[in-house]
């Protein structure tokens, strides 16, 4: 596991005034994975000026870039994937020293082991979702408890719920199914939110039905 720094610019070769994406740091297995990562997550109005692998004593080993780095067919990473690789936007002038801290050998092994575990869990979750049938109107599914600080009037208790509508929409670059239920007014992303937790929520809620549970206290409802 290595840490990488990418310096970015606009297409004229300059940093974009006011842009927070002057650069980024992230982790990757190797140089090839680092190239795929920056290709997937670079804004359209930027280009990569330099990509370097961070070594000891804050030295950089520059990674050669081909002219097609920007056009690689890579989907943007999800927020969870970005978190897993420690992806952060940086302003070169203020935050560079802290974010360029290199890993010790023990830290590198630990980060790599944790990333592998997360990827294995994601593969297992993806297989579970793929094997689970898409619900249809009239089916019973489980939805979670939701409590809100700023709009407590929308609080709800999780449990069994009856599907009333299923429609396909785009979320995070994927076509997924959004599910509406009878018990509450919310709409849910089936593949990316509900499906992975159905077994867990079945154990937690059992036969209990979902229902609205509004908290109308002023301190939990913004005007």
Which alpha helices (DSSP H) does 132-170 contain, by range? Answer: none
Q: Structure pTM?
A: 0.48
Mean pLDDT of the residues in the chain = 80
Question: What is each CA distance from 146 to 58, 182, 183, in whole angstroms?
Answer: 45, 16, 13
What is the rounded average pLDDT of the residues 133-157? 91
pLDDT > 80? residue 153: yes
* pLDDT, tens only, 67-89: 555 544 567 788 888 888 888 87
Higher per-residue pLDDT: 149 or 100 = 149
pLDDT > 50? residue 15: no
What is the rounded average pLDDT of the residues 201-222? 91
Higher per-residue pLDDT: 102 or 112 = 112
How far does Cα 113 stand from its chain's mean position? 19
Residue percentage of the chain with pLDDT more than 90: 21
Say if residues 75 and 31 touch (Cβ distance below 8 Å).
no
Say if residues 26 and 87 touch (Cβ distance below 8 Å).
yes
CA distance 102 to 98: 10
CA distance 30 to 1: 7
pLDDT > 70? residue 222: yes
The CA R_g of the chain, rounded to the nearest whole Å, is: 22
pLDDT > 80? residue 17: no
Higher per-residue pLDDT: 41 or 20 = 41
CA neighbours closer than 13 Å in the CB half-sphere of residue 100: 20
pLDDT > 70? residue 210: yes
Give the start-to-end residue ranges of the domains of the chain.
2-129, 140-220
pLDDT > 70? residue 56: no
CA distance 185 to 167: 15
Q: Please list, in sequence order, all residues whose beta carbon lies within 8 angstroms of the beta carbon of residue 147, skipping any fewer than 6 positions away.
A: 155, 215
What is the rounded average pLDDT of the residues 104-127? 77
CA distance 206 to 204: 6
CA distance 37 to 109: 20
């Amino acid at each position: 596991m290595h840490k990488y720094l990418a310096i970015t610019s606009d297409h004229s070769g300059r940093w974009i005034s006011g842009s927070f994406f002057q650069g980024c740091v992230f982790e990757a297995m190797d140089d090839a994975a680092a190239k795929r990562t920056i290709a997937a997550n670079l804004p359209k109005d930027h280009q990569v000026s330099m990509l370097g692998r961070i070594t000891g004593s804050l030295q950089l080993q520059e990674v050669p870039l081909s002219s097609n780095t920007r056009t690689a067919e890579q989907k943007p990473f999800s927020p969870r994937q970005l978190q897993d690789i420690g992806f952060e936007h940086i302003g070169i002038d203020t935050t560079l020293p802290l974010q360029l801290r290199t890993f010790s050998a023990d830290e590198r092994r630990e980060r790599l082991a944790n990333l592998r575990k997360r990827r294995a869990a994601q593969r297992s979750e993806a297989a579970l979702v793929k094997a689970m049938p898409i619900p249809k109107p009239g089916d019973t599914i489980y939805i979670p408890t939701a409590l809100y600080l700023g709009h407590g009037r929308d609080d709800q208790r999780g449990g069994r719920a009856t599907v009333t509508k299923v429609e396909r929409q785009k979320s995070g670059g994927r076509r997924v199914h959004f599910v509406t239920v009878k018990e509450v007014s919310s709409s849910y992303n089936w593949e990316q939110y509900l499906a992975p937790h159905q077994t867990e929520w079945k154990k937690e809620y059992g036969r209990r039905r979902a229902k609205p549970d509004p908290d109308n206290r002023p301190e939990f409802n913004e005007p």
